[in-house]
Amino acid sequence: MTPTIPTVRSRLTAALVAFVLGFGIANLAIFTLPGPDRVLGVVVAGVLILTSAWAVLVADSPRRISVWAVLGAEVLVVLVLVPVLWLVSLATSTGGTPTTLWPEAWTTDAFTGLSGDEELRGAAGRSAAAAVLATAVAALPALGLATLLARTRWRPRRLVRTATIAAALLPGVALAVGGGDLVLRLGGPFADSVVLRLALVQTAIALPLATWVLTSVLAGAPWSLAEAARADGARTRTVLLRVLLPAVGPALLAGLVLTALVTAQDLALATSVTGPQAPTLPMLLLERAADPAAGAQVAAAGLVAAVPAVVLLLVAPRTVTRLLGGSYR
Amino acid sequence: MSSLHLRGVTVTAPAGHRLLDAIDLDVADGEALAVIGPSAASRTALLRTVVGLQEPDEGTVLIDEDDVTVQPPRRRDVAMVFADHALHPRRDVLDNLTFAATLRRHDRAELAEAVEQVSVDLALQDVLRLRPHRLGPDQQQRVAMGRSLVRDARLWLFDDPFSAQSERVRPHVRSVVMAWQAERGRTSLVATSSVDEALSLAARVAVLHQGRIRQVGTPQELYDDPADMFVAGYLGAPPMNLLPAFRDGEQLVTPLATIHVDDRLGAAMGDRSVVIAGIRPEHCHDATRGSVDVTGGVEFTTRVDDVEWRARSQYAYLGFDTDPALAEVLDEVEEMFAFDLFQDFLVAQVPTEVAVQPGQSIHVVVPHDRVVLFDPDTGENLTRR
- Indicate yes or no: CB of A231 within 8 angstroms of CB of B89: no
| DSSP bridge partners of B247 | B252
Shared domain check, A76 and A210 = no
- Indicate yes or no: CB of B89 within 8 angstroms of CB of A247: yes
Within a domain: residue A206? yes
| Chosen domain end from A55, A87, A107 | A107
- Number of DSSP helices (H) and strands (E) in chain A, helices first: 16, 0
A195-229 per-position pLDDT tens digit: 888 898 889 889 999 998 898 888 888 888 899 99
Within a domain: residue A299? yes
Within a domain: residue A229? yes
Residue A157 vs residue B188, higher pLDDT: B188
Shared domain check, A265 and A193 = yes
| The CATH fold of domain B4-229 | Rossmann fold (3.40.50)
Shared domain check, A207 and A297 = yes
Mean pLDDT of B314-343: 91
Q: Is B267 exposed, middle or buried (CB count within 10 Å of its CB: 0-12, 13-18, 19+)?
A: exposed
| Residue A91 main-chain phi, psi, to 5 deg | -70, -30
Three-state DSSP state, A181: helix
Within a domain: residue A135? yes
In Å, how far is B335's CA from the nearest CA of chain A?
Answer: 29
What residues of chain B lie within 8 A of the CB of A153, using their CB? 14
The predicted structure's pLDDT at residue B323: 87
The predicted structure's pLDDT at residue A34: 81
Q: Which of A246-250, B53-57, B273-277 has the lowest mean pLDDT?
A: A246-250
Mean pLDDT of A45-50: 95
Q: Is A257 exposed, middle or buried (CB count within 10 Å of its CB: 0-12, 13-18, 19+)?
A: buried
ipTM over 0.90: no
The predicted structure's pLDDT at residue A329: 45
Shared domain check, A313 and A246 = yes
Backbone dihedral region of B61: left (phi > 0), alpha (psi from -120 to 50 degrees) or beta?
Answer: beta
Q: By the 8 A CB rule, do B23 and B35 touch?
A: no
DSSP string, A214-283: HHHHHHTS-HHHHHHHHHHT--HHHIIIIIIHHHHHHHHHHHHHHHHHHHHT--HHHHHH--TTS--HHH
The rounded radius of gyration (Å) of the Cα atoms in chain B is: 24
The predicted structure's pLDDT at residue B231: 95
The predicted structure's pLDDT at residue B43: 94
User: Is any Cβ of chain B less than 8 angstroms from the Cβ of A227?
Assistant: yes
| Chosen domain end from A107, A133, A148 | A107
Mean pLDDT of B70-75: 92
Backbone dihedral region of B192: left (phi > 0), alpha (psi from -120 to 50 degrees) or beta?
Answer: beta
User: Is any Cβ of chain B less than 8 angstroms from the Cβ of A225?
Assistant: yes
What residues of chain A lie within 8 A of the CB of B84, using their CB? 224
The predicted structure's pLDDT at residue A20: 95
- The overall average pLDDT reported for chain B is 92
Shared domain check, A209 and A62 = no
Shared domain check, A274 and A299 = yes
Cα of B249 vs its chain's centroid, Å: 38
The predicted structure's pLDDT at residue A91: 86
User: Is any Cβ of chain B less than 8 angstroms from the Cβ of A224?
Assistant: yes
How far, CA to CA in Å, does B135 sit from each of B82, B85, B93, B131, B299? 17, 12, 9, 7, 56
Mean pLDDT of B139-151: 94
Q: How confident is the model at residue A96 (pLDDT cuts 50, 70, 90)?
A: low
| Residue B194 main-chain phi, psi, to 5 deg | -95, 115
Shared domain check, A248 and A174 = yes
> Is A136 a residue whose pLDDT tops 60?
yes
CATH of the domain at A281: 1.10.3720.10
Q: Which of A283-287, B15-19, B246-250, B287-291 has the lowest mean pLDDT?
A: B287-291
Shared domain check, A97 and A127 = no
Residue A95 vs residue B222, higher pLDDT: B222
The predicted structure's pLDDT at residue B47: 96
Shared domain check, A195 and A66 = no
Number of domains in chain A: 2
Within a domain: residue A1? no
Shared domain check, A271 and A255 = yes
Shared domain check, A302 and A195 = yes
Mean pLDDT of B304-312: 89
In Å, how far is B202's CA from the nearest CA of chain A?
Answer: 24
Report the alpha-carbon distance of residue A265 to residue A302 in Å, rounded. Answer: 11
> Is B238 a residue whose pLDDT tops 50?
yes
Shared domain check, A294 and A155 = yes
- Indicate yes or no: CB of B74 within 8 angstroms of CB of A222: no
Report the alpha-carbon distance of residue B57 to residue B55 in Å, rounded. Answer: 7
Evaluated on CA atoms B163, B164, B168, B171, the torsion sign reads negative
- The overall average pLDDT reported for chain A is 86
B190-204 per-position pLDDT tens digit: 999 888 888 888 899
Report the alpha-carbon distance of residue B357 to residue B351 in Å, rounded. Answer: 13
Within a domain: residue A123? yes
A231-266 per-position pLDDT tens digit: 988 898 999 888 888 888 888 999 999 999 999 988
**pLDDT exceeding 90 applies to what percent of chain A?**
25
Residue to mutate among A151, A230, A232, with most B CBs inside 10 A, is A232
**pLDDT exceeding 90 applies to what percent of chain B?**
76
> Is A101 a residue whose pLDDT tops 70?
yes
Residue A5 vs residue A201, higher pLDDT: A201
| Chosen domain end from A85, A107, A129 | A107
Q: Which structural domain, as residue segments, surrounds residue A299?
A: 113-323
The answer, as to whether pTM is greater than 0.95, is: no
Pairing of strands B251-253, B258-260: antiparallel
- Indicate yes or no: CB of B82 within 8 angstroms of CB of A234: no
Q: By the 8 A CB rule, do A201 and A174 touch?
A: no
Residues of chain B with CATH 3.40.50.300: 4-229
What residues of chain A lie within 8 A of the CB of B151, using their CB? 232
Within a domain: residue A15? yes
